[in-house]
Structure 1
Amino acid sequence: MAQAHNKILVVDDEVATRTLVYRYLTKQGYQVESAGDGVNAMATFAQFRPNLVILDLNLPDTSGYRLCQEMQAQHPVFVLMLTSRSDEIDRIQGFSQGADDYITKPFSLVELDRRVKMILASASVQESGRKN
């Protein structure tokens, strides 16, 4: 039931995770782009203008926290952290840096799908509220 106008950017330095999430979300009908580091993520973000970013915290050239802040400063976007960092302090920091949701690895594609749908539904409600 995903609509093609929903655009998602997947940022993860692990090729296997990035590819898995990219393929799964593409099959669900989303427009998906991906990046493996902060520099490429920001370039893709600026050009693609996603509705949602699925963001790993551990990147080779920056932290997901910093990247989340940079993206939010350029264009308000929903962010779902997808990371191996499972400590409470990491989750709290993620939310304080602008994340809307937080999933730890290993993760379920079914759970990821439900969370993506919930975030995008919330975005849709907020967008329709601005038009009225």
Structure 2
Amino acid sequence: MTRILIAEDDPSALRLLTKFLTAKGYETLTAADGREALHAFLTHEPDLVLLDVQMPHMDGWSVLREIRSMSSVPVIMLTIRNSTDDKVRGLTEGADDYVTKPFDLKEIDARIQAVLRRARAQTGGAVIAVGPLVVDDEAKEVRLNGRPVALSPKEYELLRLLASRPGRVFSTQEILQAVWPERVHEGSAEDVKKYIYFLRSKLGDDRDGNGLIQTVRGFGYKLVAD
């Protein structure tokens, strides 16, 4: 499940974003000032940060600099300012996107999905090894115990997603967003279940989910070293 840290000092905006993103299937963490935001980032290692610029104790620019000194995790800045200088500053200092208030929740969701897709694409080209499984993203090849495994494009994308974070649980909604972004609102849990079944069949996992791909009931799926 994608973990998002929301750093926002306006209680109503914080509640609104938390409720909306939780309903969208994200795991949410919250912080009401810059110090809390940095502590939450270091403690919980979120996958994306929504970062308000104007916060007490430590402003968003300072938090962004601290994050960038140690991580390339995606950061979207939130601010009431709409000047070009502020946008340029945010992007120059390492923000991935910039949203001005008042914002539309659908726009926030779309920007989050776009930033996460870019972040995942930038990690492409690597060779990922999980136990006996090797995913070569540059060659678009999969090997299990040294033997090639033939996968369809969607099967490959799903397996690459799971292999990108071994042991991490990916929710059904998160899988739909990553593998079927063009029809995320039309897709269903049945699509994900079907392709999980296809992958398990090709990887030699049994019907009970014993093997590389495991079901975490009520949460989603994860890839583990067999």
Assess same fold via TM > 0.5: yes
Q: Which has the higher contact order (CA 8 A, sep 6+)?
A: 1
Aligned length: 128
1:25 aligns with 2:21: yes
Q: SS state of the match for residue 126, structure 2?
A: helix
Q: In structure 2, what is the Cα distance between the partners aligned to 1:80 and 1:90?
A: 13
Q: In structure 1, what is the Cα distance between the partners aligned to 2:123 and 2:46?
A: 14
Of 120-129 and 70-79, more deviation after overlay is shown by 120-129
TM alignment of 1:1-132, pairs within 5 A:
4=1, 6-131=2-127, 132=137
Q: SS state of the match for residue 123, structure 2?
A: helix
Q: In structure 2, what is the Cα distance between the partners aligned to 1:51 and 1:130?
A: 19
- What is the percentage of aligned positions where both structures have the same residue? 36
Q: In structure 2, what is the Cα distance between the partners aligned to 1:74 and 1:34?
A: 20
Q: In structure 1, what is the Cα distance between the partners aligned to 2:6 and 2:84?
A: 23
RMSD, aligned α-carbons: 1.1
**Per-residue displacement from partner, 1:6-25 (whole Å, max 9, x unpaired)?**
11100010011111111111
**Per-residue displacement from partner, 1:43-99 (whole Å, max 9, x unpaired)?**
110111111100110001122111101011122211101110111111111111111
Give the letter aligned to residue 90 of structure 1: D
Between Structure 1 and Structure 2, the one with more helix by share is: 1
Q: SS state of the match for residue 77, structure 1?
A: coil
Answer with 1 or 2: which has the greater Rg: 2
Give the letter aligned to residue 3 of structure 2: K
**Per-residue displacement from partner, 1:19-39 (whole Å, max 9, x unpaired)?**
111111111111110101111
Q: In structure 1, what is the Cα distance between the partners aligned to 2:117 and 2:98?
A: 17
- How far the C-alpha of 1:124 sits from its partner, in A, is 1.9
Q: In structure 1, what is the Cα distance between the partners aligned to 2:26 and 2:66?
A: 24
Aligned to 2:158: none
Give the letter aligned to residue 87 of structure 2: R
Q: In structure 2, what is the Cα distance between the partners aligned to 1:80 and 1:129?
A: 25
Q: SS state of the match for residue 129, structure 1?
A: coil
TM-score by length of 1: 0.91
Q: In structure 1, what is the Cα distance between the partners aligned to 2:44 and 2:106?
A: 25
Q: In structure 2, what is the Cα distance between the partners aligned to 1:91 and 1:130?
A: 32
Give the letter aligned to residue 92 of structure 1: V
